[in-house]
Amino acid sequence: MSTFPTQAAPNSSTSMTPTFLLVGMPGLSAVPSWWTAPLITIYLLSVLGNSTILWIIAMEPTLHRPMHFFLFLLSVSDVGLATALMPTLLGLALADAHAVPASACLLQMFFVHVFSVMESSVLLAMAFDRALAICRPLHYPTLLTNDVVRKIGLTIVFRCLGLHLPLPFLLAHMPYCHPQVLTHSYCLHPDIARLACPRAWGAVYSLFVVLSAMGLDPLLIFFSYGLIGRVLQGLGSSEDRWKAGQTCAAHLSAVLLFYVPMILLALIDRLRMPVPQPAHTLLSYVHFLLPPLINPILYSVKMKEIREKILKRLQPRKVGCAQ
């Protein structure tokens, strides 16, 4: 079965057309209820897990530290990203709705990329935090003060908004010379910019946004882990290396979970690799939907402080006096 309606896609050479056409999971449009339940389950579990992380960090004064503040921001970005993706995904699942008005598409695009870049920025800040804690343990408290952490948080917010606020306005006024058929189940700015006429400078800005965030951040993160690896090699015993490495385990897992599917998607698109459309669509779902679901589990399992505080809060309190 086709992944989008058989009607001809609109075309324009002067301005944005009123609708875009999304691609669903091939073969599932005939049985939309089959993937509606998993989608809703994934979303609810993502919100529940990240809300638990937000709640425990907010309620526990002992968790008001830099690493946990960055974890708080990561959970905010995960909830925002999962929520921004749901309208078109549920529209495809429930009603096989492939056509999306341009205004709604641009609005979804804005929030998806704001929260996606926020997640990338927070992962970079967490790598910086781990590198300082391991490479400069004696200077860590004086270097990463509460004031510095607040400034990093504000920088992340301004970076996300500053990079992406111009994009909806630029893309709304760009000339389009290709059929308005997107390659994903949600609106992404590289996907929309690809449909623009040649030499549309809005598409150039779109490429700049991708490279300045999703291109730069993983390089800086892996550079931070290079510094951490060099310090770990210099530690005396394997037990010390293991303990120090364990403090990075959850973060490194979150980094790989977020960036590996993204890099694979970029390679597939740039190298025009002959990957079946179902595999391409599934990989994009993994990139966007799996981190919000898995990150709370990773940090609850790997971070002892988070795990213990959650278990303590969930334990029923005893009432009455001991005999």
pLDDT tens-digit series, residues 100-115: 998 899 999 999 999 9
Residue 30 has pLDDT above 70, yes or no: no
pLDDT band at 26 (very low <50, low <70, confident <90, very high): low
Residue 57 has pLDDT above 60, yes or no: yes
Percent of the chain with pLDDT over 90: 33
pLDDT band at 8 (very low <50, low <70, confident <90, very high): very low
Which pLDDT score, from 0 to 100, does residue 55 have? 93
Which pLDDT score, from 0 to 100, does residue 2 have? 41
Which of 103-112, 181-190, 191-200 has the weakest average pLDDT?
Answer: 191-200
Residue 128 has pLDDT above 70, yes or no: yes
Tell me how crowded residue 282 is: count the other CB atoms within 10 A of its CB.
Answer: 14
Task: Give the contacts of 134 (CB within 8 A, at least 6 positions apart).
Answer: 228, 231, 232, 244, 247, 248
Q: Which residue in 47, 122, 54, 109 sits closest to 79, CA to CA?
A: 47
- The whole-number average pLDDT for the span 135-148 is 88
Phi and psi, residue 7, nearest 5° = -65, 155
Quote the Cα angle for 17-20-22, to 5°: 170
- The whole-number average pLDDT for the span 205-213 is 77
Residues recorded for the chain: 323
Tell me how crowded residue 137 is: count the other CB atoms within 10 A of its CB.
Answer: 11
- The whole-number average pLDDT for the span 59-68 is 89
Residue 151 has pLDDT above 90, yes or no: yes
Q: State the chain's mean pLDDT as an integer.
A: 82
Which pLDDT score, from 0 to 100, does residue 199 have? 57
Residue 293 has pLDDT above 60, yes or no: yes
Which pLDDT score, from 0 to 100, does residue 231 have? 85
- The whole-number average pLDDT for the span 182-192 is 86
pLDDT band at 1 (very low <50, low <70, confident <90, very high): very low
Residue 27 has pLDDT above 60, yes or no: no
pLDDT band at 82 (very low <50, low <70, confident <90, very high): very high
Which pLDDT score, from 0 to 100, does residue 32 have? 54
pLDDT band at 14 (very low <50, low <70, confident <90, very high): very low
Residue 56 has pLDDT above 70, yes or no: yes
- The whole-number average pLDDT for the span 195-217 is 74
Burial of 274 (0-12, 13-18, 19+ CB in 10 A): exposed
pLDDT band at 9 (very low <50, low <70, confident <90, very high): very low
Which of 23-27, 113-117, 256-260, 279-283 has the weakest average pLDDT?
Answer: 23-27
- The whole-number average pLDDT for the span 192-196 is 80
Which pLDDT score, from 0 to 100, does residue 273 have? 76
pLDDT band at 319 (very low <50, low <70, confident <90, very high): low
The beta strands (E) that lie in 126-244 are given as: none
Distance CA 206, CA 190 (A): 6
Residue 102 token pair: 């341009």
Distance CA 313, CA 308 (A): 9
